[in-house]
Structure 1
Amino acid sequence: MDAKRYIVHIDLDSFFVSVERKFDPSLIGKPVIIGGSKDRGVVSSASYEARAYGIHSAMPTRQALKLCPHAIVVRGTHGRYSDASREVTQIIHDMVPLYQKSSVDEFYIDLTGMDRFYDPYKLATELRQKVIRDTGLPISFGMASSKTLAKMATNSAKPNGQLWIPHGKEKEFLAPLNIRKLPGLGESTCQKLYQYGLEKIGDLQRVNLKFLEAVFGKMGLFIYNKANGIDDSEVAPHGDRKSISIEHTFESDIKDQRTLENILIAMTEELAGKLRRENKLASCLAIKIRYANFETHTQQQKIAFTAAEHILIPGIKNLLRKSWNHHRPIRLIGVRLSNLCSGSYQINLFEDNEERIRLYQAMDDINFRFGDKTICRASGMEIGARTFNPFLAK
């Protein structure tokens, strides 16, 4: 008999706002927006007070200020977020046997088997209390039998709370929730389900799998499994990877080319920096596009071994032009660098001058010392999202 799984999802609440409030307590209790300029910037993170006005991440700052004119806009201090993230990561690293850092403010922990020696929920509680005590940052967690359920439990526990879904209670927990609460279901999918009178997850639990497959094709099984709490995905710690990737699901579908290109630039810079830190090179790049109806396309291209974004970014932009139907708004976008091997990124810069080589070395040194993306292309700072850019969060 398989051991009961104990999966914990940990999420730092309004991470960037919380970090800024540590340095400026006058922001506590006020509607705060972390983001770019009022004219062309977007919201990176918003306090719960600001969210009450309908403000959310990736919203243009201009629009957010129309919803809440008295909101306080903070440009953000990127190094602070990286430092805080590293501090939390170290605490988790010291206390648990297996964890996965899925973003700058989000972690999955696998405590399966720990129940023979220790109460997993008690351990997760002690971990949360230590993070709060040592960092002063609010944090929430959910514990359940799978990653999906643990994440949904965290969302129910926010802000600054915790929740355990006991084994055997998964479907009971899910049943009263709106189908919008299921991770991975887009707006168009929800609207289609509403048309069939399916509003609660409990409604979906009573639907036959064959019906869902007839209506949604391959996505039918995905919906069925999510609604019934079925998720066998593993908590995957960092290892000797053959590829690295980042993807982001938009809260609202996007079809503005400049926005998409800027996001891709920020993603590619982030991945290229990781390659150089790990002394690796990639020889294949790819992008992933998912439309509102969940139709997904990938396009890839072989390249000479590199870890330099001045080579990678034009390739990624070219793949976007090849794979995207400009009339269709995009729900999810991602970048993957694969066919990795060990090697210094300088070997692919032999055609460049010393100035460019020194520039990469200087950028990496600054980012290593003061936090990821302390220095990067201006276009990569305009827009981003928490899943790929360590300065942008919920």
Structure 2
Amino acid sequence: MPFDEVPQPQGAGPFPTSGLPDWGGARAILLVDLDAFFASVEQLDHPGWRGKPVIVGGSPTRRGVVSTASYEARAFGVHSAMPSSTAAALCPHAIWTEGRFARYRAVSRQVMDVLLDESPFMRQVSIDEAFLDVTPGRARGDHPVLVAARIQRRVAELGVTCSIGVATTRSVAKIASDRDKPRGLTVVYPGQERGFLQRLSLRELSGIGEAAERKLNGMGIRTLGDLMDASDERVLRALGKQGATMLARVRGTEDDAVRPEREVKSVSSETSFAVDASTVEEVRAALFAMAAKVGWRLRRAGLEASTVTVKVRYADRTAHTAQQRLSAATNSDFALREVALELLPKVWAPGMRLRLVGIAASGFGAHEAFQPSLFDDGQDAAAPAKGHRRPRNADALLSAADAVRERFGEKAVQFGHERRTQQNTTGSSSKNPADYLD
């Protein structure tokens, strides 16, 4: 039966089991995508904002970017990643908020708990998206569509909504989740993948951007159906190694195991300046603020890093990084900022205008193979920059600050350099997994 003729669920159920086509022995993957998540949480917490255009993002007057827009704001053409100034012009009566990310994480954890209750085979890919393996007989025996409908009802009870794609692969489930928003439920039954994908544009497939689309179009490949039927040689010639990945995704031959945990490769934080920074005081304060964020997040995740990277973006939008490997791992704010100060002269000099500065910590576990210094004087391997030694009570200070942050949120305790940096940031934020883990 062609995909267009397969009955689709309407709303969030309930559905009689007898009315659903048999799933058979195929794998069943859900992609659960929270609808306009940040804005939905704001409307949940502010009843007076419900039904009105709400934009979460940086200030329109400070180079801000839209993080999320409610569906009422989207009706005016506002969308994520749009410059805030453009969004303000399109929707001048919108309600603006820079966001409360501790609150968003708390609601996200509630949603993920619902998913884990349905199946242990869950992988969160961002603060508002997760894959879930609900193959009949693997976790429960319920039909995948019934599981999806139950998740939608349970998430709605939390005060937010979600759209779900149900399919035999992650890539198809992801595309399906975007077909009918908000609170959509789109099902691609086993054997219906080609009918669902064949007329869709190339950009619907995760991993195909503007450049890849242009190359494929030049070869006469314009739809996902065309891509399925294209010869491997032609696609690999156009896209290189990426072509093999795209072919596997569109043909359903990719490795689709939903692994409960993913390896954390780095913990990072960066901030964009509303007005270009050019003085030692401004840049150092920003580095210290980023070190504080990364240090707390490392400790919260139970990680220690052996590599520190400093990133800067200049006024002309070019970016540079400098990196240092340590002989002893750390998760201390003070150690991170000392290394950052040592790295800074490699990428910046006073007077150079910066749009962005950031710190990344990586190399978890790798420190065990490093050789200690022959001249170790008892200090951390990342020797403090001259004149910037850490306080004697550093560990106790960080432990106390962590305890307050864990209870009241990341911004509950801030040092002076963090407060100063906040005054010259765009206020924008991203929706990376867990907000900081890569």
Match in the other structure for 1:236:
259
Instruction: Note the 1:232-381 alignment, pairs <5 A.
Output: 232-238=255-261, 243-245=264-266, 272-285=295-308, 301-303=324-326, 304-309=328-333, 311-312=335-336, 315=340, 337-340=362-365, 348=380, 352-354=390-392, 356-372=394-410, 377=418, 378=421
Aligned to 2:178, what secondary structure does the other structure show? helix
Residue deviations 1:335-355 (CA, integer Å, cap 9, x gap): 562333899xxx959962146
Q: What is the distance in 2 between the residues matched to 1:247 and 1:176? A: 39
Residue deviations 1:346-373 (CA, integer Å, cap 9, x gap): x959962146445433442233113456
1:129 to 144, 150, 153: 153
Q: Taking structure 1 as reference, are residues 363 and 89 closer, same or farther at Cα in structure 2, changes over 3 Å only?
A: farther
| Amino acid of the structure 2 residue aligned with 1:4 | A
Q: What is the distance in 2 between the residues matched to 1:342 and 1:89? A: 33
Q: What is the distance in 2 between the residues matched to 1:209 and 1:298? A: 37
Match in the other structure for 2:432:
387
Q: What is the distance in 1 between the residues matched to 2:137 and 2:227? A: 33
Q: Give the count of matched residue pairs.
A: 357
Q: Taking structure 1 as reference, are residues 285 and 89 closer, same or farther at Cα in structure 2, changes over 3 Å only?
A: same
Aligned to 2:230, what secondary structure does the other structure show? coil
Match in the other structure for 1:330:
none
Does residue 70 of structure 2 align to residue 32 of structure 1?
Answer: no
Q: Taking structure 1 as reference, are residues 132 and 316 closer, same or farther at Cα in structure 2, changes over 3 Å only?
A: farther
| TM-score, normalised via structure 2 length | 0.69
User: Tell me, which stretches of 5 or more residues in structure 1 are unaligned?
Assistant: 249-255, 289-296, 323-332
Match in the other structure for 1:251:
none
| Amino acid of the structure 2 residue aligned with 1:339 | F
CA RMSD of aligned residues (A): 4.1
Q: What is the distance in 2 between the residues matched to 1:263 and 1:48? A: 34
Q: Taking structure 1 as reference, are residues 228 and 163 closer, same or farther at Cα in structure 2, changes over 3 Å only?
A: same
Match in the other structure for 1:329:
none
Instruction: Note the 1:20-169 alignment, pairs <5 A.
Output: 20-40=42-62, 41-114=64-137, 117-133=141-157, 135-169=158-192
Aligned to 2:304, what secondary structure does the other structure show? strand
Q: What is the distance in 1 between the residues matched to 2:149 and 2:296? A: 34
Single out whichever of 45-54 and 370-379 deviates more from structure 2: 370-379
Residue 85 (structure 1) shift = 1.6
Match in the other structure for 1:253:
none
| Amino acid of the structure 2 residue aligned with 1:387 | N
Q: Taking structure 1 as reference, are residues 298 and 77 closer, same or farther at Cα in structure 2, changes over 3 Å only?
A: closer
Residue deviations 1:246-291 (CA, integer Å, cap 9, x gap): 699xxxxxxx998xx9999999766643431243312135699xxx
Please say if residues 39 and 68 of structure 2, whose CA atoms lie closer than 8 Å, have aligned partners that are also in contact.
Answer: yes
Q: What is the distance in 1 between the residues matched to 2:292 and 2:179? A: 34
Match in the other structure for 1:294:
none
Residue 13 (structure 1) shift = 0.6
Report sequence identity in percent.
Answer: 33
Q: What is the distance in 2 between the residues matched to 1:265 and 1:173? A: 50
Q: What is the distance in 1 between the residues matched to 2:144 and 2:310? A: 39
| Amino acid of the structure 1 residue aligned with 2:29 | I
Aligned to 1:18, what secondary structure does the other structure show? helix
Residue 183 (structure 1) shift = 0.9
Q: Taking structure 1 as reference, are residues 246 and 112 closer, same or farther at Cα in structure 2, changes over 3 Å only?
A: farther
Q: What is the distance in 2 between the residues matched to 1:101 and 1:272? A: 23
Please say if residues 287 and 340 of structure 2, whose CA atoms lie closer than 8 Å, have aligned partners that are also in contact.
Answer: no
Q: What is the distance in 2 between the residues matched to 1:335 and 1:22? A: 34
| TM-score, normalised via structure 1 length | 0.76
Residue 22 (structure 1) shift = 1.1
Single out whichever of 366-375 and 27-36 deviates more from structure 2: 366-375
Q: Taking structure 1 as reference, are residues 50 and 360 closer, same or farther at Cα in structure 2, changes over 3 Å only?
A: same
Single out whichever of 110-119 and 85-94 deviates more from structure 2: 110-119
Aligned to 2:406, what secondary structure does the other structure show? helix
Please say if residues 33 and 162 of structure 2, whose CA atoms lie closer than 8 Å, have aligned partners that are also in contact.
Answer: yes
Does residue 251 of structure 2 align to residue 206 of structure 1?
Answer: no
User: Tell me, which stretches of 5 or more residues in structure 2 are unaligned?
Assistant: 1-23, 270-274, 278-282, 312-319, 348-357, 369-378
Q: What is the distance in 1 between the residues matched to 2:258 and 2:359? A: 20
Residue 382 (structure 1) shift = 3.2
Residue 306 (structure 1) shift = 0.9
Q: What is the distance in 1 between the residues matched to 2:288 and 2:252? A: 36
Residue 315 (structure 1) shift = 5.0
Residue 153 (structure 1) shift = 1.3
